């Protein structure tokens, strides 16, 4: 039977690393009856962190999808990583989700990666609710975290719950329940049933004044968003509960507010109201605008698809899991129906694809006994059969074709050279790397035939370390690994006017070409290279030779800079004049002249090496602040800000990636294990002169 689209919720759990995303997911599965025991991250027994690398490290590396039912709702939940090296997993999930639960630790609050995932959700227009987790931890402070959301994230939090107490059991006022500000009830959660049994009582007299104060703040938002509620208030009439919930829901869907819940996922406190809040406040596919794409044959023609099974089928491939029995394609269905044993079009590749099997997903696997025949608009499904589509590609009806916007991923910033120990492993290594590329869009591998090595690139040290372990442990390859290196870029510091020439005798014929080129720096040194044909209409260079010259300039620009062949950026190249002879001024001659002009132009404009700079955030007790700041300055960091959050000091700095190898260990060492740091790509800036000189021109 087809699902009621209005009852579907496609949600993600997003947060900074170690805020408790996976524990929230586990508790939801347990309380919904989808599993009979609560898994523990520290025991490696969670459903979603089922990869050996995740279980060993106690962190989420790969996004996982689980399905459960709560009340009348069918929930597709994607648990995402919190570490910045795996931010592509968050990116691809948010691209296809309708809503999200943002988790904050009640002790650490809004952290660096919290800001990153919040920005990603803003980018894709994903409404979200907030869960302030770990209310039973030492130093938990609900109000501090709540008050941090607006200034740091640009959000507008609205508390729908209030914690009863804060901190662990040995404190004077431990966390022991929540106050529902919509129904004005106190909720207590039975520890014997791990939160399944909820006791609802009236709010104790000593907590009533504070609850009413927060309730009034909630109602002020309702009055602002709903004129009818405002009129009731002016007439001193109560606002019905249904109107309060409906107004908060619409405000959340419009991204005007974020309803805030609180609890302890580890002990099952406050998770059931959060699950109800997912249904009450986050959108169904019907609440989202129709998906927009273009006609593959007429890219200027915009097409829309509504979340309706009667519309032509279209969906987006957002993840691929390689498997020996056939790659598993995770697809979000936006419109129409997808049936087993059918054919669909992949307009990105201009290929038809087979849909052999449809499966419901559980974690990173196909759900046992979960094979289905049909899936409709608004749902998420695992498909076996396609061969050509890659992550971000559209699949659609073969007659009513549409191409949806793809998914853009950040560029890799770190590389490492690898090579097989023996020739027998070379083919297996190539196949394995190809499989990893299909699975991870931010992983790249390029073979250097001259050195016999392969250069693999990723988002950071941890990313490359995980790849390294997978190659040796999971795939049993004998591979040598070399020290990671930074992925620099190249640009220019000035401008130049040059003449590229070809004046050669080739046998009995003479080749001649001259091309005048202007090379200048763009304002943004990280912007893509721009190549322009500025040759005037009266220029004698026309036809194939003209096209060949411009094409050669573009190919040379794509091939990298002059310092060490790193990707070129922030450069504008303009061909504005040319000289030809009646004979010998052909395509080959002008390709040679264009290549000569490219080299001369870059050299004369002052080649410059750019190094990636990271935004570093360190949270430390004040006692160790001096040592950590001193260490950052030695690493050529610029301190951007310092601020106090409770008992901790947060240092934000911008530092070159080259100087940050092993930084996580250094922070722990400097603070006796009490400080923690995170980093994310920030910008590119000119590298020191000695770095540029270390490469051969």
Residue holding tokens 């410059």?
Answer: 608
Residue 362 has pLDDT above 90, yes or no: no
663: left (phi over 0), alpha (psi -120 to 50) or beta: alpha
Q: Average pLDDT, whole number, for the chain?
A: 89
Among 105-119, 209-223, 597-611, which is the least confidently predicted range? 105-119
pLDDT category at 365 given cuts 50, 70, 90 is: low
Question: What is the per-residue pLDDT across 227-238, written as a single tens digit (0 to 9) for each?
Answer: 999 999 999 899
Q: Which of 331, 290, 328 is nearest to 307 (CA)?
A: 290
Contact 303, 313 (CB under 8 A): no
Average pLDDT over residues 357-361: 90
Residue 146 has pLDDT above 70, yes or no: yes
- pTM score, whole prediction: 0.77
Give dist(CA 27, CA 10) in Å, integer. 18
pLDDT category at 451 given cuts 50, 70, 90 is: low
Contact 407, 391 (CB under 8 A): yes
pLDDT at position 483 is 83
Question: What is the per-residue pLDDT across 390-441, written as a single tens digit (0 to 9) for each?
Answer: 999 999 999 999 999 999 887 777 888 898 888 778 888 888 898 888 888 8
Residue 54 has pLDDT above 80, yes or no: no
Give dist(CA 23, CA 42) in Å, integer. 10
Phi and psi at 653, nearest 5°, equal -140, 160
Phi and psi at 246, nearest 5°, equal -65, -40
Residue holding tokens 């010259």?
Answer: 549
User: How big is the CA angle at 553 (ends 550 and 557), to the nearest 5 degrees?
Assistant: 145
Average pLDDT over residues 561-590: 91
Residue 457 has pLDDT above 90, yes or no: no
pLDDT at position 204 is 94
Exposed/middle/buried for 273, CB within 10 Å: 0-12, 13-18, 19+? Answer: buried
Contact 345, 389 (CB under 8 A): no
pLDDT at position 697 is 43
Residue 44 has pLDDT above 60, yes or no: no
Q: Which two tokens stand for residue 14?
A: 């997003």
| CA dihedral over 40, 58, 365, 101, signed as positive or negative | positive
Residue 62 has pLDDT above 80, yes or no: no
Give dist(CA 61, CA 52) in Å, integer. 10
Residue 302 has pLDDT above 60, yes or no: yes
Q: 242: part of which helix (H) or strand (E)?
A: helix 241-253
Domains of the chain as residue ranges with CATH: 8-281 (3.40.50.300), 291-396 (2.40.30.10), 414-487 (3.30.70.870), 490-605 (3.30.230.10), 610-694 (3.30.70.240)
| CA dihedral over 43, 45, 47, 52, signed as positive or negative | positive
Residue 55 has pLDDT above 70, yes or no: no
Give dist(CA 180, CA 173) in Å, integer. 19
Average pLDDT over residues 103-114: 88
380: left (phi over 0), alpha (psi -120 to 50) or beta: beta
pLDDT at position 364 is 59
Average pLDDT over residues 499-523: 91
Give dist(CA 311, CA 302) in Å, integer. 16
Average pLDDT over residues 329-348: 95
Phi and psi at 297, nearest 5°, equal -85, -20
Phi and psi at 44, nearest 5°, equal 70, 30
Residue 373 has pLDDT above 80, yes or no: yes
């Amino acid at each position: 039977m087809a699902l009621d689209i209005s009852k579907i919720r496609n949600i993600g759990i997003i947060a900074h690393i170690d805020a408790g995303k996976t524990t929230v997911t586990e508790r939801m599965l347990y309380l919904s009856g989808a599993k009979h025991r609560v898994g523990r991250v520290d025991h490696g027994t969670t459903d979603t962190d089922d990869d050996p690398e995740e279980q060993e490290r106690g962190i989420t590396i790969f996004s996982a999808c689980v399905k459960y039912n709560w009340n009348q709702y069918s929930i597709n939940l994607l648990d995402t990583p919190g570490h910045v090296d795996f931010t592509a997993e968050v990116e691809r999930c948010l691209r296809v989700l309708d809503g999200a639960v943002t988790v904050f630790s009640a002790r650490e609050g809004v952290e660096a990666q919290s800001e990153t995932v919040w920005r990603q959700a803003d980018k894709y227009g994903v409404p979200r609710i907030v869960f302030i987790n770990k209310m039973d931890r030492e130093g938990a402070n609900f109000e501090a975290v709540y008050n941090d959301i607006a200034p740091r994230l640009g959000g507008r939090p609205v508390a729908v719950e209030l914690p009863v107490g804060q901190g662990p059991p040995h404190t004077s006022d431990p966390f022991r329940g929540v106050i529902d500000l919509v129904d004005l009830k106190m909720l207590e959660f039975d520890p014997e049933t791990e939160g399944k049994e909820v006791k609802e009582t009236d709010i104790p007299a000593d907590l009533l004044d504070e609850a009413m104060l927060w309730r009034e703040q909630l109602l002020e938002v309702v009055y602002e968003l709903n004129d009818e509620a405002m009129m009731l208030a002016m007439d001193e009439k109560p606002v019905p509960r249904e109107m309060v919930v409906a107004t908060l829901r619409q405000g959340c869907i419009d991204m005007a507010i974020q309803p805030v819940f609180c609890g302890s996922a580890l002990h099952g406190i406050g998770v059931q109201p959060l699950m109800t809040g997912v249904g009450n406040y986050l959108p169904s596919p019907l609440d989202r605008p129709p998906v927009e794409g273009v006609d593959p044959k007429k890219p200027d023609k915009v097409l829309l698809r509504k979340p309706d099974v009667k519309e032509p089928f279209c969906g987006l491939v957002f993840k691929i899991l390689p498997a020996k029995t056939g790659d598993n394609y995770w697809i979000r269905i936006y419109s129409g129906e997808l049936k087993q044993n059918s054919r669909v079009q992949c307009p990105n590749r201009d290929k038809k694809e087979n849909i052999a099997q449809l499966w419901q997903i559980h974690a990173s696997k196909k759900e046992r006994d979960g094979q289905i025949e049909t899936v409709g608009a608004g749902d998420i499904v695992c498909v076996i059969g396609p061969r050509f589509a890659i992550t971000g590609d559209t699949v659609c009806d073969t007659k009513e074709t549409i191409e949806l916007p793809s998914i853009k991923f950040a560029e890799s910033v770190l590389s490492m050279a690898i090579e097989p120990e023996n020739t027998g492993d070379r083919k297996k290594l190539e196949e394995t790397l190809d499989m990893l590329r299909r699975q991870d869009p931010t992983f790249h591998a390029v073979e250097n035939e001259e050195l016999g090595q392969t250069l693999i690139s990723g988002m950071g040290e941890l990313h490359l370390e995980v790849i390294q372990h997978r190659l040796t442990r999971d795939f049993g390859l004998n591979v040598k690994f070399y020290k990671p290196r930074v992925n620099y870029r190249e640009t220019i510091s000035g401008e130049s006017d040059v003449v590229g020439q070809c004046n050669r005798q080739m046998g009995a014929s003479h080749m001649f070409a001259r091309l005048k080129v202007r090379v200048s720096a763009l304002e943004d040194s990280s912007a893509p290279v721009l190549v322009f044909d500025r040759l005037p209409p009266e220029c004698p260079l026309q036809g194939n030779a003209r096209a060949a010259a411009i094409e050669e300039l573009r190919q040379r620009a794509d091939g990298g800079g002059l310092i060490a062949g790193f990707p070129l950026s922030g450069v504008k190249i303009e061909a504005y004049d040319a000289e030809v002879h009646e004979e010998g001024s052909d395509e080959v001659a002008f390709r040679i002249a264009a290549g000569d002009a490219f080299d001369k132009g870059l050299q004369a404009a002052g080649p410059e090496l750019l190094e990636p700079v990271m935004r570093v955030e360190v949270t430390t007790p004040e006692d160790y602040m001096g040592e950590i700041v001193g260490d950052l300055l030695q690493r050529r960091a610029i301190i951007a800000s310092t601020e106090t959050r409770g008992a901790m000091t947060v240092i934000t700095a911008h530092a070159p990636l080259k100087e940050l190898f092993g930084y996580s260990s250094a922070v722990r060492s400097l603070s006796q294990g009490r400080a923690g740091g995170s980093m994310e790509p920030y910008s590119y800036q000119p590298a020191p002169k000695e770095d540029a000189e270390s490469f051969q021109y």
